[in-house]
Structures are given as C-alpha cells and as structure tokens.
C-alpha cells in the first residue's frame, strides 16, 4: 500500500453545543494516528479530517465517542427531527407551569418537588452529560454552568422541603427550559441550512431530449452529446447552441432582469429558461460538472468557511465554573476550621452555589436573542440563529445585489419614442395587440386592457413577433428584427415596431425600476456609517442609471461575486450582503452575514443568515439596527449578571447572605436581565 496516499473523511458529529465542544472534538480526532488536519464546523455539525490513507473511519468515530459526542459517516447519518424535541419542550413547560404559579398561588411543596425533579433529571439530563464530558476534558462550558446552577437551586429546595424554608424550584426549571428552547431553535436552523444546496436541483430537469428523439436521464449525458431544448424548458446542462435561435431568461443565474436573444455558438448555462424557440445544444458540461453543480459546491464551501461559533458565556464558564467550585469548597473548609457546625458550614457553601447559580448569566444571552428575534419576526425580519444576530451587529458595510433586490426585477415600459409618422398612442395600441397573447416578459409590459389580440401572430425566436392588426402586417422585436433603428442608449432595453417591409415606426424603452425604499435604505446606511456597494451581473450602464449613491461592481458572475465578498472580508471588513437570486447564493453564504429577500429564490433564502419577508431594502437597514440593539441588550445583561456575582459571592462566602436571601437576590438579578431584554419587544423597523 502507498503509505504517502492521502484521503479526506467527513463525519457528522452530534451533541456539540458550544465552541469548547468543537475544541474537544478536534483534539480527540488529532490524537488518531495518521490524522494531519481537522476542521470541525459547529454550524453544520460536520468534522472534516485530512490524513493518511491508512486512517480508519471507525477509529475516528470511536475517538469522537470517547470525547463524549456522537459521530457517523455523512451518508449514514440520519437527519435529526425537531418534532420530538418540540414535544419535550411543550411537556417541560406544562410541568413547570404549576411551579411558576406557586409564586402567586399556594402549591404543595411535595408537588413542586415532583414536577421540578422531572424537569431537572429528564430535560436537564443533556446538561449533566455535556457538563461531565467537559469536566473530563479539563474545561467548563454552558452545560456545566446550567447543571451546576440548577442542581444547587434544586438541591437546596429539596433540603427546604423537609427542613423548612424558601423553595427555588422555579429558577432551575426556567433555566433548563429557556436554554433547551434556544438549542432547539439552533438545531432547526442547522437542518435547514443543508437545504440550500438541495434547492439547486429544482432548476434541473430530470430528463433530456437527445437529438435522435430519445429521452434519457440527465445524469447519462456526456460532453459532446447533442440535445434538443424546447420552449418553456430549462437547460439541463451547460451547452453550446449548434442550431436555432431563442430568447432565454437567464435571471436565475446571471442577475440580468431582461430576457436575452441567443443563437448559434452561444453558451448556455444549466438552469436558464428557454422562452420561445427550439434549440439544438452540444453538451459542454456533463452532469456533475455544470453550472448548478459548481454553485452547489460554492455554497457548501462558503458555508464551511464560516467561523466557528464562539459563545461568550462558554468562555466565561471556562474560568467561572472552577472558581465557583473552589470558592464553595474553600467556604466550607474555612467555616469548619473556624469551629462552625457542619450544617452551618454546608449552608454557607450552598449559599455560594445558589448565589453563583448562573440564572442571570444563563438568561442574558437567550433572553436577548429570543427578544431580538421575536421583534424581528414581528417586523418581517427572520434571523436564522443567534450567530446571525451577532454577525449583523458587527457589519461595517452592506453589499446589495441589484436585480430583484434594489429593483423590482420586472421590466416595465418606460416610454415610447416615435420614429416615423405614426402617433405614439397608435403605435402603443398596435404593440399591445401583437403582445396580447405572447408569454415573453416584455410582452407582458406592453399589454393594454381592452385591446383586441392581433391575428396570425407568429413568434420569431430570439427576435420578436410578427402579426396582423386591422389587415396590416407588423413586426415587433429587437434591432435584429427591425433594421435601421438608432443604437440604444442608457440603461434601458429597447423593442421596435415596424410595418413589415417598411421602416421603424416606434421604439419602446423598458427599464427595471428601483423598489420604493431603495434610495432611503442607501441613505440610512450611509448615515449609520456603513459603506454601500452594489454588486450586479447586469451592465454598468443599467446600474448607473439607477442614480444611487453607492459603489458599483457590474458584470459580476456568481464566482466573481463570491471572490469580491472574500476579498472584502480578507481586507478586514465585516460584510453584510442582500440578494435574492440563485446567482447570489454562494456570495450570501460567504458574507459575514447574508440577507435574502423573502420574494427571491429559495436557494438564496436557504443560503442566507437572515430572510427579509417583504421585498423592501429598508428591512435590511432594520435588520442591522435591530442586531446592534440586541447586542447592546445582551452585553448589558451579561454585565449585570457578572457584576451581581462579583459582589454577591464574597458576601455569601462570609456568611452575610443566607440561602433564602441568596435565592431572592438570584431571582431579582434574573428579573432585571429579563426585563432589560423584554424592552426589545417594542422595537419597530423604521
């Protein structure tokens, strides 16, 4: 066997909840002989291992298992379903409801004990498991904090059930339920992220028509095969036209809003839509190597390049947990040395644990995130997960796609130019009659109510229409159909009307207009100190004609868009991008935070971190402002939680706080954090 041969292995890893989990999995995998490099992505739940060909997949899976997590080959991994977890959460809230009511309505202590114990050791079991794995690896994480704090509150409450005293069951239940709710939402976002690549396949037909009349699966096509493409069909693979002319809608892959004529020798990309002509194509990119496949790989690579999620609370926990345990043990020991009774020393040690219970610390992040995402949802802004909020809060520039994002993406008739003796109104009516039953997007912009359709209408693929109106034959189409017309200027696209065999009578200019909030959005972003960039696959003239105060990069292919985003991030920018098309999907995934218009392509929405449910550029401004507001609230909560612990822990250790007062103070700190976060409920997009 060639010992120098290398291989790449990808595993699906389950059970990770924080950045420290990622570190432990990577550390355990690197210990496997033959492994040279490991990259674990928390967002996708995958581990990518590079090493010698002799590396055994089973050994890798066993290494992950010993570190406290699960692993399986990607092909064998079963997608996790959220239904079971949703039911568990619903059951948890139902169990906790009577305990919460005990604060205003008498509930027997034994009933509270039974309900709280079910939540503590059923729904809280995952925190014990994760916490033990972290402690075995010599570190601390959020699981340790939750297990430690809730156990202290639960244990002290159990003692008081029998010895008499205040009960703190509601604190342990609230922490477990809120943290699990946050994890549930995060896991759902991870599952949805994988559908971005799968959505590309909806643009590819299953069957292709060979030139000899045989229908074959697209997967069987090879370079050099010739296929027939009929009107209304999507291009199955990359190819070159060898016969025929037609208009194609290339907006899903190029960003060009208007259909373009294509003839012999033109290159066609998989996923584009043939509108009106029959074409014969020579396959240049077989299945697996065409445009859609490249886009899928770009999205997967860009998602894999996203930075590992760094949860601030886990970093704090790495120091906070051992310190609190040490202080509790030291408190117990010192009180015993000073002659205190065992019960008194234990009570003071438990007071330290109760006062240090990470209720406020554990609530600060999920409360702010839940309040922020809830406020966003009310205003038509959907954040995929907490990391999307954090990334949006740090953005220093916003990159807009043009077509379908800043503009409507639908061509509209801008004006009519008379080129002969015919009046503009009459030319408009004739054009409407010719376009009445045509499916071309430009024809839709020409229709008028009450105008009778022309007779003997004939589609001239790639050029336009021929038809008869009131006994006269007319032509309507591009400059290739109506010779001798003036060259188009500016950002508009033109169609021309002529009587058959005669000179041009009129020209019709079509433009893709700005969305109503586009100018206000750019102005607001500049006011907020962000740089604004327009990145489009369209012509520079069309982009400049919009008159927006933004930098412009035109003629950008999907690959170029991705390169631009990577270059900007490489230069130190935190880049937010807004797009709506498939051609934007890879760039959206590569941006620090991607925002997709809700009316755009599914693949763009799935690849993005934020979905804007209304096609309004101002929502992008609102998303960034809400993210910054949420970050401020989160930091405020963390500050007060830590400030409370820094002040209260020494007081508890010195015996100045009994457990009942400690519990009350703990509850008060949690209420302060929650109240601060709930202010976000009143946020409104401008």
Angle at 263 between CA 469 and CA 256, to 5 degrees: 85
What count of other Cβ atoms lies within 10 Å of the Cβ of residue 111? Answer: 12
Give residue 586's domain range: 381-408+515-613
Neighbours of 507 (CB within 10 A): 21
pLDDT of residue 308: 39
Cβ neighbors of 243 (< 8 A, separation 6 or more) are: 264, 279, 280
387 and 521 both lie in a single domain:
yes
Is there a single domain that holds both residue 458 and residue 317? no
Q: Kind of pairing, strands 531-535 and 397-401?
A: parallel
- State the pLDDT at residue 306: 36
Question: What is the reported pLDDT for 507?
Answer: 93
Placement of tokens 């074409």 in the chain? 279
**Minimal CA–CA distance to 608: which of 631, 579, 629, 630?**
579
Tell me which of 558, 581, 613 is where a domain ends.
613
For 524, residues 6+ apart whose C-beta sits below 8 A from its C-beta are 618, 621, 686
Q: Which long-range contacts does 103-112 make (Cβ < 8 Å, 24+ apart)?
A: 103/170, 109/161, 109/167, 110/161, 112/157, 112/161, 112/167, 112/169
pTM for the model: 0.58
Instruction: Read off the tokens for 315.
Output: 């970093």
Query: Which one, of 421, 430, 423, 418, lies nearest residue 471 by Cα?
Result: 430
Q: Is 214 exposed, middle or buried (0-12, 13-18, 19+ CB in 10 A)?
A: exposed
pLDDT at 199: 59
H runs (alpha helix) in 608-617: none
**98 and 133, same domain (yes or no):** yes
CATH number of the domain where residue 25 is located: 3.30.70.100
Q: Which tokens in the block code for residue 563?
A: 């390169």
For residue 337, give every residue at least 6 positions away whose Cβ sits within 8 Å of its Cβ, in sequence order, or none.
Answer: none
User: Residue 549 maps to which CATH number?
Assistant: 3.40.50.1000
Cα–Cα nearest to 348, from 658, 662, 664, 648: 658
Nearest-CA neighbor of 636 among 368, 319, 369? Answer: 368
Q: Which residue has the tokens 């859609």?
A: 292
Does the residue 446 lie in any domain? yes
Q: Are residues 434 and 486 in the same domain?
A: yes
Examine residue 197 and state whether it is found in any structural domain, yes or no.
Answer: no
Side-chain-side CA neighbours of 186 within 13 Å: the count stands at 23
Q: Specify the CATH number for the domain of residue 424.
A: 3.40.1110.10
- Cα separation, 641 vs 386, in Å, equals 19
Q: Looking at the domain assignment, is residue 445 inside a domain?
A: yes
Instruction: Assess if residue 43 is contained within a domain.
Output: yes
User: Do residues 14 and 108 both lie within one domain?
Assistant: no
Rounded CA Rg of the chain = 32
> 409: alpha, beta or left, given left = phi > 0 and alpha = psi -120 to 50?
left
Indicate the SS3 state at residue 551.
Answer: strand
Q: Is the CB of residue 606 less than 8 Å from the CB of residue 356? A: no
Cβ atoms of 241 and 228 closer than 8 Å: no
- Output the pLDDT for position 602: 53
The residues near 100 (Cβ < 8 Å, ≥ 6 apart) are 170, 173, 174
pLDDT profile of the chain (686 residues), mean per 10: 68 73 80 87 74 88 84 64 80 91 86 94 89 70 70 82 80 77 62 53 83 89 92 90 90 68 88 90 80 62 40 57 81 91 72 66 69 77 77 92 81 89 93 90 89 92 89 91 74 87 90 86 92 83 78 80 92 91 79 79 63 85 93 84 80 76 65 78 79
CA–CA dist 452, 448 (Å, integer): 9
Helix (H/G/I), strand (E/B), else coil: 526:
helix
Question: Which of 490, 511, 532 is at the close of a domain?
Answer: 511
Q: Is residue 619 part of a domain?
A: no
- If asked whether residues 527 and 603 sit together in one domain, one would say yes
**Distance between CA atoms of 537 and 407, rounded to whole angstroms?**
13
Q: Are residues 256 and 280 in the same domain?
A: yes
Q: Do 530 and 472 sit in the same domain of this protein?
A: no
CA distance 535 to 512: 16
245 near 264, Cβ under 8 Å?
yes
Give me the pLDDT at residue 215, please.
92
Q: How many CB atoms lie within 10 A of CB 532?
A: 18
**Distances from the Cα of 654 to the Cα of 2, 346, 352, 645, angstroms:** 67, 13, 9, 14
- Burial of residue 424 (CB within 10 Å: 0-12, 13-18, 19+) is middle
Reduced to 3 states, what is the DSSP secondary structure of residue 51?
strand
Total structural domains within the chain: 6
Domain identity same for 58 and 157: no
Domain assignment present for 159: yes
CB atoms within 10 A of CB 215: 11
**For residue 558, which of 266, 192, 272 has the smallest C-alpha distance?**
272
DSSP string, 459-509: EETTTEEEEEETTEEEEEE-TTTSTTPPPP-TT-EEEEEEETTS-EEEEEE
Residues 6+ away with beta carbon under 8 Å from 593: 388, 391, 392, 395, 575, 576, 577, 609, 610
Q: Is residue 301 part of a domain?
A: no
> Is-contact 89 122, C-beta < 8 A?
no
pLDDT at residue number 188: 64
- Which residues belong to the active site? 401
Q: Is residue 297 part of a domain?
A: no
**Rounded Cα gap, residues 674 and 498, in angstroms:** 70
Asked if 317 and 256 sit in the same domain, the reply is no
> Of 26, 47, 73, which marks where a domain is finished?
73
CB atoms within 10 A of CB 682: 7
Do 402 and 324 sit in the same domain of this protein?
A: no
β-strands 472-477, 464-469 pairing: antiparallel
d(CA 593, CA 485): 46
> Can you give the length of the chain in residues?
686
Nearest to 649 by CA among 326, 431, 283, 210: 326
Per-residue confidence (pLDDT) for residue 598, from 0 to 100: 65
Answer yes or no: do 419 and 387 share one domain.
no
Q: How far is residue 628 from each of residues 50, 117, 517, 621, measured CA to CA in Å? A: 38, 39, 21, 11
């Amino acid at each position: 066997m060639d010992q120098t041969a290398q291989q790449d292995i990808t595993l699906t890893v389950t059970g990770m909840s924080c950045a420290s989990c990622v570190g432990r999995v990577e550390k355990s995998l690197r210990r496997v002989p033959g492994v040279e490099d490991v990259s674990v992505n928390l967002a996708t739940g995958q581990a990518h291992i590079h090493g010698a060909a002799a590396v055994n997949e089973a050994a890798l899976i066993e290494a992950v298992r010993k570190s406290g997590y699960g692993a399986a080959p990607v092909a064998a991994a079963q997608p996790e379903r959220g239904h079971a977890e949703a039911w568990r959460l619903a059951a948890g809230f139902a169990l906790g409801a009577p305990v919460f009511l005990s604060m205003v309505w008498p509930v027997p202590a034994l009933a509270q004990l039974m309900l709280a114990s079910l939540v503590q050791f059923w729904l809280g079991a995952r925190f014990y498991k994760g916490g033990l794995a972290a402690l075995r690896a010599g570190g601390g994480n959020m699981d340790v904090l939750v297990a430690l704090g809730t156990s202290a509150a639960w244990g002290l409450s159990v003692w008081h059930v029998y010895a008499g005293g205040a009960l703190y069951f509601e604190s342990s239940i609230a922490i477990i339920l809120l943290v699990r709710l946050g994890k549930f939402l995060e896991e759902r976002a991870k599952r949805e992220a994988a559908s971005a690549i799968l959505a590309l396949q909806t643009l590819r037909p299953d069957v292709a028509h060979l030139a000899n009349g045989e229908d074959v699966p697209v997967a069987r096509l090879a370079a050099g095969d010739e296929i027939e493409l009929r009107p209304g069909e999507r291009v199955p693979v990359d190819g070159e036209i060898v016969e025929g002319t037609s208009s194609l809608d290339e907006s899903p892959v190029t960003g060009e809003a208007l259909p373009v004529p294509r003839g012999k020798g033109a290159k066609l990309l998989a996923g584009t839509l043939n509108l009106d002509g029959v074409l014969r194509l020579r396959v240049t990119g077989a299945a697996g190597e065409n445009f859609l496949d490249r886009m899928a790989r770009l999205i997967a690579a860009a998602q894999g390049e996203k930075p590992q999620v760094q949860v601030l609370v886990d970093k704090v926990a790495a120091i906070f947990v051992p310190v609190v345990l040490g202080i509790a043990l030291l408190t117990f020991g010192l009180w015993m040395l000073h002659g205190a009774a065992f019960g008194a020393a234990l009570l003071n040690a438990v007071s330290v644990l109760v006062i240090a219970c990470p209720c406020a610390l554990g609530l600060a992040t999920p409360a702010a995130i839940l309040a922020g995402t809830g406020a966003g949802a009310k205003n038509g802004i959907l954040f995929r997960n907490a990391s999307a909020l954090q990334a949006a809060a740090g953005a220093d520039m916003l990159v807009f796609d043009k077509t379908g994002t800043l503009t409507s993406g639908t061509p509209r008739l801008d004006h009519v130019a008379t080129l002969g003796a015919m009046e503009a109104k009459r030319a408009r009516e004739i054009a409407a009659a010719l376009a009445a039953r045509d499916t071309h997007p430009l024809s839709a912009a020409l229709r008028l109510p009450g105008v009778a359709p022309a007779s003997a209408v004939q589609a001239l693929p790639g050029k336009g229409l021929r038809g008869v109106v009131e006994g006269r034959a007319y032509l309507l189409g591009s400059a290739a159909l109506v010779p001798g017309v003036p060259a188009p200027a500016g950002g508009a696209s033109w169609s021309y009307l002529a009587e058959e065999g005669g000179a041009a009578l009129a020209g019709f200019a079509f433009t893709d207009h700005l969305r109503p909030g586009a100018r206000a959005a750019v102005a607001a972003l500049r006011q907020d100190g962000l740089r604004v960039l327009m990145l489009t696959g369209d012509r520079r003239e069309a982009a400049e004609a919009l008159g927006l105060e933004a930098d412009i990069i035109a003629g950008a292919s999907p690959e170029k868009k991705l390169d631009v985003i990577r270059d900007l991030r490489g230069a130190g920018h935190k880049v937010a991008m807004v797009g709506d098309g498939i051609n934007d999907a890879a760039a959206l995934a590569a941006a620090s935070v991607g925002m997709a218009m809700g009316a755009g392509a599914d693949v763009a929405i799935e690849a993005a971190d934020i979905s804007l449910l209304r096609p309004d550029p101002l929502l992008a401004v609102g998303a960034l402002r809400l993210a910054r507001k949420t970050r401020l609230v989160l930091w405020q909560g963390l500050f007060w939680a830590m400030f409370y612990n820094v002040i209260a822990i020494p007081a508890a250790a010195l015996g100045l706080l009994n457990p009942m007062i400690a519990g009350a103070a703990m509850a008060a700190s949690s209420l302060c954090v929650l109240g601060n976060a709930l202010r976000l409920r009143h946020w409104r997009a401008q």
